[in-house]
A and B are shown apart, each in its own frame.
Chain A
Amino acid sequence: MSWLIKNASILGGEQQDMLLRDGVITEMGKDLQDGEAEILEAAGLIALPGLVDLHTHLREPGREDAETVRSGSRAAALGGYTAICAMPNTNPIADTAGVVEQVLRLGQETGLVDVQPIGAVTIGQRGEHLAELGTMADSAAQVRIFSDDGHCVADPVLMRRALEYVRAFDGVVAQHAEEPRLTEGAQMNEGEVSSQLGLAGWPAVAEEAIIARDVLLAGHTQSRLHVCHVSTAGSVELIRWGKQKGWQVTAEVCPHHLLLTDEQAHSYDPVFKVNPPLRTAADVQALREGLADGTIDVVATDHAPHAAQDKECEWAQARPGMLGLETALSIVVQTMIETGLLDWAGVAERMSITPARIGGLNGPQRRGAAGGPIAGHGRPLALGEPANLTLIDPAARWTVEAASLASLSRNTPYQGFELPARVSATFLRGNATVLDGKVQL
């Protein structure tokens, strides 16, 4: 099917029509006509290249009660995403070609977003021996991002070797920066609130110590380091310093760290428990500024679904993590656009173009031939480009209802929040995955 999108504001700028045919933007301009194409009136909507998430937990295989590739794909499409990168902390861990190919296949079967598997750095994410990184890279999943997310690659030698080894296939190590000895039993940000609540502290230094070390290792090895979910002001400083050195360091921030603070823990409701934890207002401000000035390259969701029983319990017993795919864009609008820190082109840069580049998902679109790498994401909205895009209603306001989210889990920290901006439609290779705010599967 072809789509003629009328009067969309491209990256929040000029209004244009776009004709999507055979997965490609075949015409752009004013007052386009096409007898066959389905027409979508997009006046007042903003067109961005389809969003790309470098950090998604899909829970399949292993915890299909919390999320599946299919349910997570639905949430992603509704959030404006056309590609997501699935973290390997499943059961079994995605540390072999077999598991990453399974996740790839499940993504293809759903077909709502491109699902790029991330491979574990170490066998079983235990931080002892390298997993077969090259075999995962050579597999059908063509893995380029490797992460032990949920665990830190704490051993400095192992981290050095991983950084060096993945250079052979232009890989990147995405580090969950958490010094394990400094965070034993940790429950929330260490500070005034943790002291008052009697919850064991997760100090900023535990994140910053690993980032400092890894930035130095990235410089030493001349390899690519990606820092997951940066949460402290000090981390922003360290990454800024590494970039000034000219080293290949990129970083992501999560929407919840741009909005929420550790004050939320006063409720003892573990829906606010996340790793790394919610920090202070000063950290939130530094993260926003770091994202605005490009020190932090991208927004990544760390979408982490959890079954009800893993959150309806004592804080210390609860699993860390929050839903994020369906609310990420709205949180970025509230924290970055409404504050004047970013414009829509800046949002496209940080939620589509740069994450696609870091993840290696921005190659020219494959045509017909099966088995090529996932490609065509984070590219300009221009003639001849892949038709991966999302249309956003910037004037909409909506109230988050956990029960009406597409995710199988309900652990959104934004229950009852009124948020700005809503995804109206999403297109993957010219096919509508979301129309009128409703997923097409």
Chain B
Amino acid sequence: MNRHLLSAGDLSREDALKILDTAEQMATVGDREVKKLPTLRGRTVVNLFYEDSTRTRTSFEVAAKRLSADVINFSAKGSSVSKGESLKDTALTLHAMGADAVVIRHAASGAPHRLTQWLDAVVVNAGDGTHEHPTQALLDAFTMRQRLGRDLDGAKVAIVGDILHSRVARSNVQLLHTLGAHVTLVAPPTLLPRDMQTWPAQVSYDLDAALGDVDVCMMLRVQAERMTASYFPTVREYSRRYGLDGRRLALMPKEAIVMHPGPMVRGMEIAGEVADSSRATIVEQVRNGVSVRMAVLYLLLTQDSTGQGTA
């Protein structure tokens, strides 16, 4: 496995399966009376969050604490960062403090890549701009495996919404391809990236047509400000053409599940009745996030520089 987790595309099939299998073991820790393993005792994990994300930051924090690591939350607000400190200087500071792993969330695509050039610690990308969010893709794959009760070879996944600006979509497309699933991206043409021929995914503008034979329908959040930039005319029209409501849920096969990485906008990309239905996995995704992030931190922090596990 690579030293850092920057992109879901860096994971081989073997790596990805190892993380998912390890996450299953980690999940059992959450069921114990004492929800803690001693594995990362004495190691320091820094959560370096330049964007507000209570969900992801808390998930990484719980994951690191369950592995007995010391956790430092370094949020951009109220720190030296808000006084204009550069990413490089922050990196040098964390390096000097002896951080073993840095989990970074940043509004700029590629910020985690830059970070690896300035410090020795293992870097985990917790979402960079409109680029990637690999642990989200891992927890999504984990959730699919759990719900479908099988490996993802041949599974049919539709990802619907603002693909252009979505780091979740970029990571999911790569990881799902690695795991053998077939991905269809559904969006209005304005919200699809240019020159996607090389992406291992099909593209459709028609949500109804895409839903007939899916195993998974993953809805992405669409920010209302995309409307002011004319990506679509109105929220109502977006919802009508690309929102998942009860009628569309009925078009999907009975066993197919509905996913959403959150935070969701009820009534926009997903109807409340769908979000609350038993077909939706939204709460499970959050729970599984902790197990998957435990697995990632555990595997990255216990392998030597050649990528071999030492634990």
A residues neighboring B (CB under 8 Å): 187, 190-192, 194-201, 203, 267-269, 309, 312-317
A197 to B86, CA, bound (A): 22
Give chain B interface residues in 199-217, CB to chain A under 8 Å. 199
Give chain B interface residues in 77-118, CB to chain A under 8 Å. 86-88, 106-111, 113-114
A-B contact pairs, 23 of them (CB 8 A): A187-B109, A192-B196, A192-B197, A192-B198, A194-B194, A196-B170, A196-B198, A198-B130, A198-B131, A198-B167, A199-B109, A201-B194, A268-B110, A268-B113, A268-B114, A313-B88, A313-B114, A314-B108, A314-B114, A315-B109, A315-B110, A316-B108, A316-B109
Q: Report chain B residues within 8 Å CB of A201.
A: 194
Known A-B contacts A198-B170, A309-B86; the reply to A314 vs B195 at CB < 8 A is no
Instruction: Say what secondary structure dominates the interface of chain A.
Output: loop
B108 touches A195 (CB 8 A): no
B193 within 8 A of A: yes
A197 touches B197 (CB 8 A): no
Given contacts A198-B170, A312-B86, A312-B88, list 7 more A-B pairs with CB under 8 A: A191-B195, A192-B198, A195-B195, A195-B199, A313-B114, A314-B87, A315-B108
Q: How large is the interface on B (under 10, 10 to 19, 20 to 34, 35 or more residues)?
A: 20 to 34
Please name the 4 residue pairs, one residue from A and one from B, whose CB atoms are nearest each other, closest first.
A268-B110, A198-B131, A195-B193, A314-B108
A191 touches B170 (CB 8 A): no
Say how far B171's CB is from chain A's closest CB, in angstroms: 10
B267 within 8 A of A: no
Known A-B contacts A195-B193, A195-B195, A195-B196; the reply to A317 vs B110 at CB < 8 A is no
A190 to B192, CA, bound (A): 12
Say how far A232's CB is from chain B's closest CB, in angstroms: 14
Count chain B CB atoms within 10 A of each CB in A198, A200, A312 and give the residue with the most.
A198
Q: Report chain B residues within 8 Å CB of A313.
A: 86-88, 114
Q: Report chain A residues within 8 Å CB of B132.
A: 198
A198 to B111, CA, bound (A): 12
A203 to B197, CA, bound (A): 17
B140 within 8 A of A: no
Say how far B201's CB is from chain A's closest CB, in angstroms: 12
A317 touches B170 (CB 8 A): no
B86 touches A198 (CB 8 A): no
B128 within 8 A of A: yes
Q: Report chain B residues within 8 Å CB of A309.
A: 86
Say how far B95's CB is from chain A's closest CB, in angstroms: 15
Count chain A CB atoms within 10 A of each CB in B106, B108, B128 and give the residue with the most.
B108
B129 within 8 A of A: yes
A197 to B107, CA, bound (A): 13
A316 to B111, CA, bound (A): 9
A317 touches B108 (CB 8 A): yes
Known A-B contacts A312-B86, A312-B88; the reply to A199 vs B195 at CB < 8 A is no
Q: Report chain A residues within 8 Å CB of B199.
A: 195
